[in-house]
């Protein structure tokens, strides 16, 4: 997946708008080589972040390509050591746009890693259970404010340290710690709400729906 995207991004002709934003490269092969290296190094991270920030699985590949295309237009401004930070900031913006476009669509399916296992390896009952768990997890995360959700997923899912998260999102470590605490509290509260809804008798759920 990442290798194919690397070739696609490197070979994608720039639009006039993109071309105008890039200075003439002194060595096209150097630019293409750096883009391939960036995609291979960071594609999985970008893909997971997009998913965890609310981009549906069906749109994650296109969103990831969009993120790297943005990098390709700004490559001359981004030091190699800052690529991951730039890509993450771009992914946050791309995910925000995707959420706005799909605000009324509830088809998001959670996935921890890019799909590599064929779906027919799970029987229908297992597939339903996995899909339900992913949907519930996405529902829990979607309830978090974006700045808290960002810190929460980077810490809890990407296993990044507070200092790494602080550098990536460009906030003080103390802010990371406070957002993480708040995120954990909100996640626990949301999980309890979801669990209560799931175990409630059908009539009780219907009554709540009518009251709302």
**CB contact set of 29 (below 8 Å; sequence gap of 6+):** none
Identical topology for domains 1-103 and 124-203:
no
The whole-number pLDDT of residue 199 equals 79
pLDDT at 110 over 70: no
In the chain, pLDDT over 70 holds for what percent of residues?
A: 68
Confidence of residue 67 (pLDDT cuts 50, 70, 90): very high
* Domain locations along the chain: 1-103, 124-203
DSSP letters along 169-203, please?
HT--HHHHHHHHHHHHHHHHHHHHHHHHHHHS-HH
Poorest-pLDDT segment among 14-18, 69-73, 77-81, 119-123? 14-18
Report the top-level CATH class of 1-103: mainly alpha
> Nearest to residue 115, comparing CAs of 44, 17, 14?
44
Tens of pLDDT, residues 138-152: 888 988 999 999 999
Joined tokens for residue 122: 């799970």
Q: What is the reported pTM?
A: 0.70
Topology of domain 124-203, per CATH? Arc Repressor Mutant, subunit A (1.10.10)
Tens of pLDDT, residues 147-180: 999 999 999 999 999 999 999 999 999 999 999 9
In whole angstroms, give the CA distance from residue 64 to residue 100.
17
Mean pLDDT, rounded, of the chain: 80
């Amino acid at each position: 997946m990442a290798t194919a995207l690397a070739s696609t991004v490197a070979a994608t002709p720039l639009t006039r708008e993109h071309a105008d934003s890039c200075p003439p490269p002194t060595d096209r092969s150097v630019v293409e080589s750096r883009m391939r290296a960036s995609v291979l190094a960071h594609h999985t991270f970008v893909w997971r972040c997009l998913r965890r920030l609310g981009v549906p699985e069906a749109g994650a590949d296109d969103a990831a390509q969009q993120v790297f295309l943005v990098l390709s237009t700004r490559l001359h401004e981004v030091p190699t050591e800052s690529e991951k930070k730039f890509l993450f900031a771009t992914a946050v913006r791309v995910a925000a746009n995707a959420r706005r476009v799909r605000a009324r669509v509830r088809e998001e399916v959670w996935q921890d890693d890019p799909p590599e296992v064929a779906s027919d390896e799970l029987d229908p009952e297992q597939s339903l259970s996995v899909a339900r768990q992913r949907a519930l997890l996405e529902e829990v995360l979607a309830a978090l404010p974006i700045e808290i959700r960002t810190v929460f997923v980077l810490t809890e899912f990407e296993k990044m340290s507070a200092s790494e998260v602080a550098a990536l999102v460009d906030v003080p470590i103390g802010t990371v710690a406070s957002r993480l605490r708040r995120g954990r509290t909100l996640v626990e509260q949301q999980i309890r709400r979801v669990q209560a809804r799931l175990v409630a008798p059908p009539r009780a759920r219907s009554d709540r729906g009518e009251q709302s």
